[in-house]
Structure formats: structure tokens, C-alpha cells
Structure 1
Amino acid sequence: MRETTHAHHSRNAIVPFQCATPQAIVDDLRERLARTRWPDQLDGAEWDYGTEREYLRELCAYWADQFDWHAAEARFNAYPQYMTQVDGENLHFYHIRSPEPDAIPLVIVHGYPGSVTEFLEVFGPLSDPARHGGSRRDAFHVIAPSIPGYGWSGPTQRQGFDTNSAAAAFVTLMERLGYSRYVVQGGDWGARIVTAMAEQRPDRVASIHLNMIGGSPPDPNDPLAGLTDDEIAYVTWKKAYDARESGYYAIQSTKPQSLAYGLTDSPAGLAGWIVEKFRTWSDCDGEVERAFSKDQLLENIMLYWVTGTINSAMRLYYESLGPGRFSASLGERLMVPTGHAQFPGDIRRTPRAWAERAYNIVHWKRMPQGGHFAALEQPQLFVDELRGFFSGFR
């Protein structure tokens, strides 16, 4: 169910891209939604067992009858997109050059189960701040790739493609675009990928900014030592959270293929799998549409559907975190200057002392609101944070 086909080009070619889904795929989707077999749900279950059935029925009815995918594509196509290949993998990316001559290149990387659609509201303010109430001196050339295996990059082609592979591909992309010095930003998988970019090319990555950051306690035997009361409360909460909410992680890092048959065949199944994370991981008090509109949710879900990439997206967990592939060790401390914005609704709010073991932290800010999908949930806060932090690295 790839959205488009790509002609073979020379190895390093960068070619313009526009998304244009055949109407037959949209018609097929609506037919599948109309034929959905709904599971039972226990009285009073709400979201305890997973995505709540009546909410999903409502979302899928809207998807079938009111959601306009072609209008969404017009939004996507409002910014310049391109395709290239790196080491045999297709790589889709946005490249929005700023009109400002002193703009600096910024790579922003999404995660799971998100996509580059998370950034549509921030492309303009970041690349052309003067037109969006900002200062010309805060301009960026914005490069927003789709991780290979996600969205328009399409399914990955080989075993072993992990977050380090994605980082190497993005470093290569920046070389092809002619950028020798740049800054990077990411959350979720994006955080791991931009960290790896800085590890691979510290001579080119001037600084990194993360809205999700890793780390580990200095004393594993006394992990709460030196933490504030708020941090201790978080660590306690996270232990209970992981016991309750990590089923997706266990499946995707061990047997993603088995799950992918259902999610690739059933749009309702795909929506049920993804929307639960948008509810749980956002700052929405249990009401997902306090953080996202139905259209925003469906733009992202539909992108997985039309490109047939839920399997390869989940496979990144297997390749990066699966059996024999993950060590709790964070390796050497990254010395590239690092900033972190900690959003209160996110699922990982690492204590600063833990993060400082892995990163050279030069900026740490607790945000007033927002969650895991920061740019989509709080675009203005996200833009202001990046403008402020990266102003010191121009």
C-alpha cells in the first residue's frame, strides 16, 4: 500500500516529492472501515484494557465519512519535500530553506507512533520567524526527515536497520544538502537518533536539543540518592507506569511481525493501536481530543495506512532494543552541548542528575504544559524553546 512509486535515480540524487494517494486506496479504506468487526467490551471498562471501543467507533466513523485525506495532502504539500536513497533505503524529508541569510540548519526528528506530520505547525515559525511574530535572527533552515521505515520513506529493506543506521543516514543527507555545521532536535526515537548523530559527527553537530532524554542513576544500589521530592515521585510513578503500560514495547521489540498482520489489514485496528498512545503519552487528562483534533490524529494514522509502514515502524524496536541488541549502559558521556525541555505530560521525565551522566547539559527547562508529542501539542512553546536555546549556537 505504498502511496507512490519512486523511479530509480543515481545513487545520491535528491528528487522533489509530492504526496498523491490514488483514490482507490481511499475507497478501499472506507470499505474496510464499514466492515469492521468490533470486539466486545466489558461494562465500565473505559480505557483500562486498552483503547475504549465507543471512542474508537466515533473516530472511525469520522474517518470514513468526514475526514478529508486529500485536504491533508494539500497541507503536507505546502512545504517542499524530497526523496533520496542512502545505503539502499528510501529517505523522505522536508527541506524548508529560510529566506533569512543568517539562518542555521536545524534537523528535527520524530518518533513512534508519530511522523513528520507532527511538525507541520512549526515549519513556518521556525523557517520564517518574521512572518510569524518572531525575530529574523531566530531563523532556521528546517530539515525534517521521515525515519526510514516510517511514512513516505516507506518500509526498510534490510535487517539490522536501527537508530544508529538512521543517524548515519541523516548525517549523509546533511552532507548531500551541503551543510557542514548544524543543530539537531528530537524526542522519542528522534532523541536517540539525534544523540547518535552527535556521537558520530561531533565536529558537525553544534548542539542538540531533546524533549525526551535518557539517563541512569549514579548509584544503582541507591537510585533515589540526591533526588528532589518531585523526582522521587516521578521515579516511583514510572516504575508503576512501566508495569502497566509497556506491553506494546515488549511486543514490538520481540515479535512485531505477528502484530503487523492485523494492523496492516484493519484500519480500525491500526487506529486502536496508535490512538491509545496519543492519549496516554499526552498532556490531556485522559481526554485525547483536549490535546489533538480528530483530523490531527487521523493525518498521522492515515500516513501509516497509505504507506503500509506500521510493520517497519514497529520493527525499529526489534532492531534497536530487541534480543541481544540493547545494553543499559549509555556509553561515553556526550560532550556536545545539550538542552532539554521537560514536558509535564511526557512518559519519561528523567532526573537531571541521571541525564548529566550521559549528556553535557547546558540548558534544562521544565515546561508549563504539553506531553510526548511536543511540537504537535504545544507548537508555540516548542518554537519559543528552540529559538531561545539555539540562539547561543549561531
Structure 2
Amino acid sequence: MSRSPLPFDAHADPALLADLAARLRATRWPPAAAAPAWVHGTDLLWLQSLCSDWIARIDGTGPVDDWSDREHELVQIEDVSIHVVRGTSSKRRRDGIPLLLTHGWPSAFVEYLPALDMLTDPAAHGVTGPAFDVVLASLPGYGWSTRPDRAMTYAETARLWHVVMAELGYDRYGVGGGDFGSGVATMMAIQQPDRVIGLHLSTLELLPEVADHDSLSTEEREWRQADQAHWTIDGGYKAIQSTRPQSLAYALTDSPAGLAGWIGEKWHGWVEDPARLSASPLREVLLDVLTLYWTTGCIGPSMRDYADNRLHPPSLDGARIEVPTGIPLFADPGGIPPRHHVERLYNVAHWQDVPHGGHFAPAEAPRTFTGDICAFFAGLDI
């Protein structure tokens, strides 16, 4: 059962913010790591600076977030309440291409806000291409979206997202995302391809399953080796979150400095240029993510994505996505697989080098991200 979308006030609770600032001031800091910065995890001085800026933002006279003045709604679908942010095309009516975008972990809808106005009115921002009616959906368990006790996998979230778009009045639409959002968008194209105009992936979450390893090309083998080597070093967070997320949740729900250290390490490691996290506007996006996770208490539920998808992995054996797929080559910590490997699963209609941007491309390079989406959808026969 579903109900009509309801407007939603997304302002942060002042009492929660006051408590947050007090907890940050009372942080009990560990000694610095006996290794070069970032080798053993989040650098102490970097984290102390980030937390100081977080306090200053809470205590300042300006807004404590960049999301409150957006158009927020809650959509009740079965046993899940889904939070969405709407952005309509330039004439303030629904005449753009419908586009559903989904974030990943450790991120939130706020990652897309730097690109939202460009997507709804690209011409006003010097970007060539069509305008979009944008829906930013918060994954179940993130921010104000609830998470039921049952497993919420790529496939189950994709199923819900089709229902959400129907509730919002859309029959056909483009879908896109990064990280977990990329996996959800991929499953949407598999489940109901006739409803998906085009699939845009800023990162590649789901890749083809190749049973016959002898069929892999030299380039595919080299990429796999590099990818495995990367995750041997960077995969510790994934191991704990996919097996014992609840144990970690107690610490991160109680300590904002701990939360900032855990999330900040991933942002620092996955953006194209970590130095940009030390200055606005990218630092403000990271602070928005931290404030959202803290004030909604969503770090624990969000980490369940890893456990749910480990226990209920998607089956892509024999799958082939015929929906036209656009893939901008934003920098990725694990490297980018060869195009012919990706084409084992996806109908790649757009494979584009981009000048800059990394794992959190909408926040890192909003103009580049918007331009790529516009170019991809402009080339489709819609």
C-alpha cells in the first residue's frame, strides 16, 4: 500500500545540534598514529580541523546545512517511508526529462545538491543539453528514509524505486547513481527496462559475472589484479560493515568525532583531489553529510547495506542490460575496468573521458557531472 507524497520539513533539531557541538568539544582524542599520515587511517590533525569547522558551522550565524530550503517529500511505500528531494525544470512545471538519482555510502542526497539547479536549468548555467525533472531519493535507512527489518538489497530497493516514481506520477524516466546508487539503478534497468529511458552510472557498482576466466582478455586480467590489490588495503571497512555492522554502530552513533573519522577517511581516500576537502565548497558538502548522519542517527542502518547485499547478493549470471547506458570515467580508487569488460553486461552508448571528478562526482565536479548527463540523454531517442 502507498500514500500520496507528503511535504516534509527537513530542518535540523536545534537541541540535537547543541548536543552535537557539546560532544565534539568533549572529544577524547587518541594519540597520533605511529605511521605516515593516512597510512593507518584518518589523520589526527586533519580530523581535529574538520571537527573544529563542524563546531564553527553549528555555532555560527549562517545556516547549519544546505538542504533545508529544498523541496522535500516523504513517500510511503508498503512498510517503508522514502525521503525524496524534488527539482523541477526551469519553468517550474514538470516539462523536463524525469531523472531519478541515488547516492551511495558514505553519502546522502546532499552529494547531488551542487548539481541540482544545473540539471533543472542547464542553459542558465552555461551547460548545453536538456533540462530534467530531478528526484533525489534517500536509500532506505539513510537520513529520513526508514529501513525495515527485512533485507534491503540492490534489487529490493530498485523494486521500491519503481513504485516511488509511479507514485510521483512518472511512467518512464532516466535513472542514475553512484556507489550503492549505481547498483540500484542497474537493477532498475534489469527489472523494468521498458520504464527506463537511459541508465547513467557515475561509478560502476555491479559488473558482469564471468564464469570462464580463460575468456578474460589481458586488459581484463590486469584490471582485476589491480582492483583486488586495492581492496586488500582499502577493504577493511567493507569487511566489518558486511559482517558486524551493529558492533560498529554503537561507537559511531555515540561519538560525532568517531563518525567524522570513519566517514571522512572514505571521502579523503575516494575524492580525486583530497586537498579540496580542506576548503569550500566540497568541505561544506562533507559537513552536510556528517550533520545529516548525526542528526538522523542513520549510520547504523546505512551500514546494513553491506550485510544485506553480502547475504543476498544480486544474481547477474547471464544478464544483459539493453537499456542505453552512459558511463563517465570519473577517477575511481580501484581503477576503471576496460570498456569491453563493462560491455559484457551493459549496452554502453556513452563512454566518456572527463576532465576531473572522483567517486563523489556530483559534489566534486557538478558542472562536469551535469554536462555528462545532459550529453548522454541528448543523444538518446526519447
TM-score, normalised by the number of residues in structure 1:
0.89
Distance 1:219 1:109, change over 3 A: same
- Which sits farther off after the overlay, 56-65 or 247-256? 56-65
**1:118-142 Cα shifts (integer Å, max 9, x gaps):** 111111111122322245x611101
| 1:124 corresponds to | 117
Quick one: which of 1, 11, 26 aligns to 1:20? 11
1:368 aligns with 2:355: yes
TM-superposition CA deviations, 1:49-104 (whole Å, max 9, x none):
11011111111122123446885566313321111111211100012121456421
- Give the aligned residue type for 1:270: L
Q: Distance in 1 between matches of 2:292 and 2:230?
A: 29
**Structure 1 residue matching 2:66: 3-state secondary structure:** helix
Matched residue, 1:138 = 130
Cα distance change, pair 232–380 in 1 and its aligned pair in 2 (3 A): farther
* Amino acid of the structure 1 residue aligned with 2:139: I
Aligned to 1:347: 334
Any conservation in 2 of the 1:106–1:182 contact (CA below 8 Å)? Answer: yes
Give distance in 2, aligned partners of 1:120 and 1:19. Answer: 14
Q: 1:17 to 1:73 in 2, by over 3 A?
A: farther
Match of 2:43 among 33, 38, 52: 52
Please state how far the C-alpha of 1:25 moved relative to its aligned partner: 0.5
The answer on 1:278 being equivalent to 2:267 is yes
Q: 2:367 aligns with which of 353, 371, 380?
A: 380
Deviations 1:316-348 (A, max 9, x none): 1111123xx226754411111111111124435
Alignment correspondent of 2:229: 240
Return the match for 1:114 from 107, 117, 125.
107
Hey, what's the Cα distance between the residues in 2 that align with 1:170 and 1:218? 28
1:42: how far off?
3.3
The C-alpha deviation readout for 1:177-220, integer Å capped at 9, x for no partner, is: 11111111111001110111111211110110111123247575
Indicate the residue corresponding to 2:244 in structure 1: 255
Figure out how many residues of one structure are paired with residues of the other and give that number: 378
Per the alignment, in what secondary structure is the counterpart of residue 349 of structure 1? Answer: coil
User: C-alpha displacement at 1:173, in angstroms?
Assistant: 1.0
Question: Quick one: which amino acid aligns to residue 24 of structure 2?
Answer: L
Unaligned 5+ runs, structure 1: 1-9
* Alpha carbons of structure 1 residues 372 and 148: separation in structure 2 relative to 1, 3 Å: same
- Flag as ranges the 4+ runs of structure 1 deviating above 4 A: 67-74, 216-220, 231-234, 327-331
Q: Distance in 1 between matches of 2:222 and 2:279?
A: 25
CA distance in 1, matches of 2:235, 2:370: 30
Where in structure 2 are the equivalents of 1:296-315 lying within 5 Å? 296-315=285-304
Of 198, 211, 236, 1:207 maps to 198
Give 1:109 deviation, angstroms.
0.8
**Percent of counterpart pairs with the same letter?**
37
In structure 2, the residue matched to 1:188 is 179
CA distance in 2: counterparts of 1:126 and 1:326, whole angstroms: 33
Tell me the amino acid that sits aligned with residue 171 of structure 1. Answer: H
User: Using a 3 Å threshold, how does the CA distance of structure 1 residues 30 and 248 change in structure 2: closer, same or farther?
Assistant: same
Specify whether residues 242 and 292 from structure 1 end up closer, same or farther in structure 2 by C-alpha distance, changes over 3 A only: farther
On the 8 A contact 1:80/1:96 being kept in 2, the answer is yes
How far, CA to CA, are the matches of 2:309 and 2:292 in structure 1?
Answer: 23
Structure 2 letter corresponding to 1:338: T
Please give the secondary structure, in 2, of the residue aligned with 1:368: coil
Q: Give deviations 1:278-333, integer Å, cap 9, x for gaps.
A: 011110156643796432211111100000100110001111123xx226754411
Go from structure 1 to structure 2 and tell me whether the alpha carbon gap of 1:41 and 1:75 turns closer, same or farther (over 3 Å shift). closer
The 5 Å alignment of 1:60-209 reads 60-67=51-58, 71-72=62-63, 75-100=66-91, 102-135=95-128, 138-153=130-145, 155-209=146-200
What's the C-alpha RMSD, in Å, of the aligned pairs? 2.4
1: distance between equivalents of 2:179 and 2:65? 27
Question: 1-side partners of 2:209 and 2:217: how far apart?
Answer: 8
Look up the match of 2:378. Answer: 391
Task: Give the distance between the partners of 1:218 and 1:163, measured in 2 at CA.
Answer: 20
Q: What TM-score, normalized to structure 2?
A: 0.92
SS in 1 for 2:27: coil
Contact 2:231–2:334, Cα closer than 8 Å, also in 1: no
- Cα distance in 2 for partners of 1:392, 1:68 equals 47
Partner of 1:267: 256
- The 10-residue stretch of structure 1 (216-225 or 349-358) with the greater mean CA deviation from structure 2: 216-225
Task: State the partner residue of 2:319.
Answer: 332
Change (3 A) 1:327 1:97: closer
Following TM superposition, by how much is the alpha carbon of 1:221 offset from its aligned partner in structure 2, in angstroms?
A: 3.2
Report the residue type matching 1:115 in the other structure: A
Aligned residue for 2:181, secondary structure, equals: helix
- Which residue does 1:7 correspond to in 2? none
